[in-house]
Amino acid sequence: MKYRTMVLALASVAGTPALAQSAPDDERDVVVVTATRSEQDSLNVAASVTTRNVDELRQQGFTYGTDEFRGVPGVFFRRGEGDGDEFPFVTVRGITGNHGNDTFLALVDGIPFVGADEEVLLYEVPYGAVERVEDVRGPVSALYGRGAIAGAVNYLTRTPTGSGGRLSVSAGSDDYYRAEGLFENGWDGGGFIGSATCETYEGWREHSARQNLNLFGKAKFSLSSQTRLTAYLNYLDRESEVPGAIPTLADGTIPPVAGGDEGFLGYGDTRNELTGVLASLRLDHEASDTGEIAFSAQSKRFELRR
């Protein structure tokens, strides 16, 4: 099946420019943007917001998607149970949805980051290009629309300030390997940042292996002293096995099931393959000293094979 959608949004917000890409060292003065869509001191925001610096998370043992939720008050996640290896389950303030992660919204620089089934793409976030993560607990549907009734998590990407790059390689148990490259080039009035991530994992049990490829690019241009244009492109390719739910006895044998193989879903195909492209544009214009107009457009195309 193939999916193609286009999302357009126009918003006018009060405050200083809406994309804060760095935070002061003093945690009491952290600037957040997700809860209000404008830069605000965290102490002045009437919402529960937690900010996480990705470089600090890596020093603490960050491995892959959903690790950024560790230690966030009011957020519970699990993986490694049932199909949780393929689709991690996240609960914000005890609010659960009808289908996986449909009660909170994931965003990249304030633009929704959801897949073919309208669920958040937690494993496909371009972590190599992300500088900071903001978790908002509580409904923000008035700002971002449906899907944000429990909260939102915003992945704020880095702003290129110079020219250079880095390469990191990590490994773990069960044949887990991850290679991540980052390149940035900044210039007067703009810049470019690109990241590439390749991950393989054999899984801790049968039929739980996966392979991920993620390519991300962001280019920023100043059209005038008041107007900025930012373009995003994200390509993802994921192949994964889904552990089945076939019932077994204590000795490992499979008991007979009413309806046989055809009557029990656990005997079905245990492989998912997803490729997708997300392209986004964002235009920010400072209309005055206290107001800004932002326009964003996004095109998505996914191919899901089971």
Structural domains of the chain in order of their starting residue, each with its CATH number:
2-305 (2.170.130.10)
* Token code pair at residue 166: 């880095």
- What CA–CA distance (Å, rounded) separates 302 from 299? 10
Element housing 144 (H / E): helix 141-144
Tracing tokens 């420019």 back to the chain, one arrives at 17
Which residues are CB-contacts of 2 (< 8 A; sequence separation ≥ 6)? 301, 302, 303
The one-letter amino acid code at 248 reads: T
Which helix or strand (DSSP H or E) is residue 55 part of?
A: helix 54-59
> What does each of the 306 residues of the chain score in pLDDT, given as a tens digit?
444 443 434 343 434 333 333 333 444 456 555 544 555 555 445 457 788 888 888 888 777 678 888 888 888 777 654 444 556 777 787 776 655 566 788 889 888 888 777 777 877 888 889 998 988 887 776 677 667 777 888 899 988 888 899 998 988 888 989 899 999 998 888 899 999 999 998 887 777 788 989 999 999 999 998 999 999 999 999 888 766 656 667 776 767 766 665 555 555 556 678 899 999 999 989 888 777 888 889 999 988 765
Dihedral of alpha carbons 304, 214, 179, 67, sign:
negative
Let me know: does 296 contact 111? Beta carbons within 8 Å.
Answer: yes
Q: Give Cα separations from 236 to 225, 250, 259, 279 (angstroms).
A: 34, 40, 38, 12
Residues 6+ apart with CB under 8 A from 187: none
Nearest-angstrom CA–CA distance, 271 and 240 = 6
Q: Is 64 helix (H, G, I), strand (E, B) or coil?
A: coil
